[in-house]
Amino acid sequence: MIAIVDYGMGNLRSIAKAFEHVGADAVVTSSARDLQEAERIVLPGVGAFGEAIANLRSTGLVETLGEEVFRGGKPFLGICLGMELLATDSIEHGRHKGLGWIDGTCIPLQPNGVRVPHTGWNNIDLANAASTPLGRVSNGEDFYFNHTYHFVPADESTVAAWCTHGTRVAAAVAVGNVFATQFHPEKSQQAGLELIADFAAWAPESAPQAIRTSTP
């Protein structure tokens, strides 16, 4: 079973339907027991960082997420804002502390001749993707993005794919059993469904202890 974390922000039903479409059993939940019983965990997100991290902490699930992902070694997928929340912090409408699972910060996209927010299709350039759910994705594949801020990792070796929108943007990150995308796979048609199916079958090579994390 795949647990999709409900903390009041995210297009939860669309994500659940995408997993159902590829034959995976998924449940939208805010229950710690469901996270404990799940084989995999998905953290979606749409909206502002500060409100999202406050909502997530108010559910009381942050400690359970840390236990299941790090000590339990469960495959984890963050989507859009769910990827940004993995950062050390964000400067969106003030400075907010994130989960700190992957060192880095979230900063605003700069126009640089392009529209902000970054909304629509964009192609990705694979980086350290071989052992991630992106392993079968072709370099240059298009995915659907919708964001105003982006996660800048402190260590670029954590980036599994890049895209360009006025500047180089981390389109996906991966460390150990943690994988996250800035784009929305559930809105990315066939390529997105294939990625979702591959996450549902993903067996990470790295031990959870290999992930750099502050105490959640």
The catalytic residues are 80, 184, 186
Within 10 angstroms of residue 179's Cβ, the number of other Cβ atoms is 25
Cα separation, 138 vs 119, whole angstroms: 21
Give the span between the Cα atoms of 212 and 216, in whole angstroms. 11
Residue type, 112: N
Phi and psi dihedrals of 11, rounded to 5?
A: -85, 75
Helix boundaries (H) for the chain: 12-21, 32-37, 49-58, 62-66, 81-84, 189-201
The contacts of residue 2 (CB under 8 Å, 6+ apart) are 19, 24, 25, 26, 27, 38, 39, 40, 41, 42, 200
Distance (Å) of CA 165 to CA 111, 136, 201 = 8, 24, 31
